[in-house]
Structures are given as structure tokens and as C-alpha cells.
Chain A
Amino acid sequence: MSKGKTIAEKILSDKSGVDAYAGQIVNAQVDYVMVNDVTGPIAFREFEELGMEPVRERMVLIPDHYVPNKDVASAEQAKEMREFARRWGIDNYFEVGRSGVCHQLMVDEGFAAPGRLIVGADSHTCTYGGLGAFSTGVGSTEAAAVFATGRLWFKVPESIKVNIKGSFRPGVGGKDLIIRIITDIGVDGATYKAFEFSGDISAVPVSDRLTIANMAIEAGGKAGIFPCDEMTEEYIKETVRGEWTSYEADPDAVYSAELEYDLSELEPMVAYPHLPENGRPVSEADVKIDQAWLGSCTNGRIEDLRIAAEVIKGRKVHPDVRFIVVPASPRVFNQAMAEGLLAIFMDAGAYVSGPTCGACLGGHMGILAAGERCVASTNRNFIGRMGHKDSEVYLAGPGVVAASAVAGKIVNPEKLEEVF
């Protein structure tokens, strides 16, 4: 009788046609391959050297990092992607206005779905594990290889099982859990491995699952996978393209480690510079800020905007702070507009922009000067990540970002009344 399998082992077995377990190298069929405007050009050049036909319908091209074009260099780069899409007849190219932060667009446009094997030339491709996909970041050359062959090699990863119990207290969410996990195991604690979340996952909204899976890479993880449940099905039912498959782990599946988190014990967290593993409870923070930034593939969803708007409604952004709000996709933007959230942010004195990765990676629209500090709902606080090498990024969830924008320093939304 064969041994039990993790979700990662099951998906990679089915996609490769091999009865695969952790440690084996398989050659697997990829459902979708995505590139963005930064990683695309190298992939396009590598692909075109091959002289092969592309797997058009499985390719997704999303300009998001430096769009709308930041300068001439980024305009040329965006043009390269546009022209590649035209030359090869790639329908899944998303022009500015119909585009957004690539991982949110992959969800909104229904490419991400349970059981799919998706690779993307962007490290946060692991986001779709929140829906039960096996998805992982690759380089441009590997993306080009998938353009040409529809396949890629994978070392089947060992999985770390994360048992979830209890439920989040008010003001605590997925961002706090994943910062806690990364702080506990370190930024290389899951290198070459997949997280598999289990237990009472119904206590974790799907939006939070996407946030958690998104930051699996910040622990070095290859993927972060939640099993698909009724909440997943409800979340994707209006947007998903095509068929998809739900996988669950076997009871006798083998894990390299098991962790357990009681959600009710978690506090809002903030990760100090310059690594995501520098997490501390927000209650211990005493940090003045110059900027608060809400958006990104980590926390730029409608659910995040709702949390932040609830905190800032009827209040004003601190006079010394720029609060920048960037809905992650047109769908999120439209929904936020319909719900009156954008008006709440603007009434408070925030700057609201259209979807872009923008300042999250130090691109544009919110770059930090020397000595400036930003609390951001993003995923990386590396040296110089959002601008000058002597600037600092503090990572937190959407409620803390909004509360900090008001207070002028990093605070728990619960404490906002005490500050004023």
C-alpha cells in the first residue's frame, strides 16, 4: 500500500503523472505561467531564442511593478511586454486600467484556483496557495521554459504542517499570524519546503489565507497551501476560469515538522527592519513614522481596505504623515469606491492611487528619503526596500497601518482612543 501524501505531493504527482513524494524531482505540467514587467523582458528574450511556439492560453502577462510608466526606461520595458503579447497573440495580457498587482489580478481574473500548478516570475506567486493551489516563484528563464514547453521541473518539497486552532481576536488577522510564524522559525525556516495549513481553517477568512500564503516566501518557503473548503469555493465562484480540483492531505501524510498556533493568543504584530523575522507585538512598539502605506499583493484586498477604513473613519491622518492607499486591482478599487471606502480615506487626508506595486518594492509613488520610516502592509522590510538605504520599513496588518497613520506612530487600533 502506498504511503499517505501531503497536498503538495498530491498536486505534483497528478501534474507529473508520477507517484511522487518529497525529495523526488518531477517534470510537471504547469497550468499557468505569469510574468510581470520587470521579469518579463528577460523571459521574452530567452524564449525567442528558442524558435518555438508558446503555450499561449497558459501564459499571463501583467505589467504592475513600474506602471503606469514611471519614466522612459520603464515605458520602454512596458512596451516590450505589450509588443511581445501582440507578436505572439497572447490574449492574457492586461493593459494599464485593466491591470493590477499581478497576484491580486491572478485571483480576480480566475487563473488562481484550487489544485492548480502555477508558476510566476515573481517570488510572491506563492499567494495562490491561499486558494489551495501549488504555486511558486521562478526566474525569468524558467518562465521562458514554460512558455515553450508548458512544463517545468520541481523538487517535490517536504511540508511543514501548521495546525490552526481558536479564532482571531478583533483587530488580529492573517498578517499577524504569518509575521508570528516567520519570527518563530526565521526567514530561512522553511527553505525548500512548503507550509500546509490545517486544523480549524474555517476561522481564517480566505483573504487572510492569501496574505499568509503570500508571505510563505519570507520564511524561504516554496509554497504555503491551505486546503480548499466551502469558503474557498464561495470566494472564487464568480471569477474562476475553467475546472479545478480540490485536494486534501492523507491522514498518514509525512511532515518534516509540525507547528501549532492558537489564533486567540495572537496579538497585532509589527516586523521591524530589516527582516520579516523581526516581529514584535505592536503593544511594544514606540516608533514615529513619516509614511503609512496600505496596499500590495499581501494586504491590498477589499477586506484590508474595509479594516483600514473602519479604523480611520471620522479621523484625520496625522499632520506629519503621508498615508498612501493603493487598492491592488481594478476590482478592489471599484468595490472600495462603491462601498464609500475611498471617500473615507480621502476625507481623512490620505492619498489614494490606482493599482500598482509602486512603492512596495521601491519603485515609485511613495519612495522614502534618508532617515524616513514607513509602516506598510507589504511583505519585505529589507535595507532600502522602499527607497533610500537609510530609510526603514515596518511591516504590519491593515488596521495597524491605518491607526499609525492617524497617531503618527506605530499603534494598535485599540489604543487609538488613548492617543488622542
Chain B
Amino acid sequence: MESHRGKAWRFEDHVDTDQIIPAERLVAENLSKMNEFVFEKVRPGMAQKINKGDIILAGKNFGCGSSREHAPRSLIQAGVSCIIAESFARIFFRNSLNVGLLLVECKVDASEGDDIEVIPKAGKVINHSTGEEFNFPQYPEFVSELVAAGGLMSLIKEGRF
């Protein structure tokens, strides 16, 4: 898993998937432009300001609510490279593994706009704005293999599931 460095977007606890992408946007014709609708109800204008590689920092239970896979997919389309949260909701976690969105479970002190680097191989998050470093545990073996393969569909195509 490669490292990522980008600007921090700060969120609190319980960011639900309706906030990430509202239900009324969930029609097939939007699948290639979901980035336009990211956080449109709670942070209007944010979607247009995200730069490729930016990182979302959140509290507990990020991605709670609906099973919509549109949520991690829309964040990838918007350019988000990684989400760092104290914890993730289960379905969002599994969806992210399959679509290639890096999730890091870690409590990080950072403010909106801080320069954040995530180094998965070292299990380390660096806040370059403050100089602080934070450590996070590796995924369990099965999950690491799933992510390394590129998700469940890749495993099936390779005949490994």
C-alpha cells in the first residue's frame, strides 16, 4: 500500500453515508460524476475544493448508515486518498476495501488544512504541520491480502475466492 500526503479535511463523529452522498443522487446516470455531490448538504462547496490526495480526518463511526457503495466510490472520485478515523462503520469499511479507498483507524490530532502524510507500510501518520506522529495497527492478514489484491472482485477473477 502506497503512502499518501495531502491536506486535512476535519469531521466529527458519526459522519453518515447520507452526508457523504445524499440518497437523491443515487441514480445510475450519476455514477461517473458522484464527486460533484460529496458532502453537498453539510459542507456545500467542499466537493469543488478537494485536491487530489487530500485526506479526511474524523472521529468515531465514520460511514455509518446506508450500505451505499456510492459513498467510498464518490470520495475516490473526488480525489480523497485516505480516511483517518477513530473507528469506521462496518459496511463502509468493507465497501472501502473492495473499491480501493484506504482507511486508517487511528486517533490523530490535526486541524482543518494541516499537511498530513499516511505511511501504511510503517503504520504511521505524520502531521507535518505540527510535527506530531501517530501509529496505527496493521490490518488482519486476510484483510491485508484483500486490499493488496485490489478487492474482492480481483480475488474472484484470479480464482482465489
Contacts and interface: CB of A to CB of B under 8 A. Distances in A.
Partners in one complex: yes
Interface of A: 25, 27, 38-39, 41-42, 46, 49-50, 52, 65-66, 73-74, 76-77, 80, 120-123, 125, 137-142, 144-145, 148-149, 151, 153, 187-188, 191-192, 220, 222, 275, 361-363, 380, 382-385, 389
B35 interface: no
Contacts of B87: 188, 191
Nearest to A122: B67
Interface in B63-84: 64-70, 73
A174 to B, nearest CB: 21
A103 to B, nearest CB: 12
B153 A41 contact: no
B142 A25 contact: yes
B141 to A, nearest CB: 9
Given A141-B153, A148-B156, 17 more contacts: A25-B142, A38-B26, A50-B157, A74-B27, A76-B29, A77-B28, A137-B91, A139-B68, A139-B94, A139-B98, A145-B153, A153-B142, A188-B60, A192-B90, A362-B23, A380-B18, A389-B42
A141 B98 contact: yes
Nearest to B40: A389
A139 B67 contact: yes
B131 interface: no
B22 interface: yes
Contact of B61 (A25, A121, A188): A188
Given A144-B153, A384-B18, A220 B29 contact: no
B144 to A, nearest CB: 12
A187 B140 contact: no
B19 interface: yes
A80 B23 contact: no
Nearest to A387: B24
B114 interface: no
B41 interface: yes
B152 interface: yes
B10 interface: no
Contacts of B90: 191-192, 220, 222
Interface in B124-145: 140, 142
Interface residues of B, number: 41
Contact of A41 (B31, B156, B157): B31
B142 A41 contact: no
A141 B161 contact: no
Nearest to B89: A220
A145 B152 contact: yes
A79 B16 CA distance: 29
13 contacts: A27-B161, A42-B70, A50-B156, A66-B27, A73-B27, A73-B29, A76-B29, A123-B65, A137-B67, A145-B161, A149-B156, A361-B18, A380-B18
B151 interface: yes
Contacts of B29: 73, 76-77
Interface in B82-140: 87, 89-91, 94-95, 98-99, 140
A157 to B, nearest CB: 9
B137 to A, nearest CB: 15
A299 B67 CA distance: 20
B69 A42 contact: yes
Given A73-B27, A139-B95, A389-B41, A39 B61 contact: no
B28 A362 contact: no
Nearest to B96: A139
B24 A362 contact: yes
Residue of A123, A142, A148, A382 with highest tally of chain B CB at under 10 A: A382
Contact of A76 (B14, B23, B28): B28
A153 B152 CA distance: 10
A85 to B, nearest CB: 15
Interface in B1-28: 14, 16, 18-19, 22-24, 26-28
A49 B31 CA distance: 16
Interface string B24-68: 101111110000000001100000000000000000110011111
Nearest to B27: A73
A142 B94 contact: yes
B28 A73 contact: yes
Nearest to B151: A141
A138 B156 contact: no
A289 B131 CA distance: 50
B69 A275 contact: no
A76 B67 contact: no
Contacts of A191: 61, 87, 89-90
A343 B140 CA distance: 57
A138 B67 contact: yes
Nearest to A66: B27
- Return the 4 tightest CB-CB contacts between A and B, nearest first: A139-B95, A188-B61, A139-B69, A73-B27
Nearest to A25: B142
Nearest to B155: A145
Given A141-B95, A191-B90, A38 B64 contact: no
Contacts of A149: 156, 161
Contact of B18 (A49, A122, A187, A385): A385
A220 B61 contact: yes
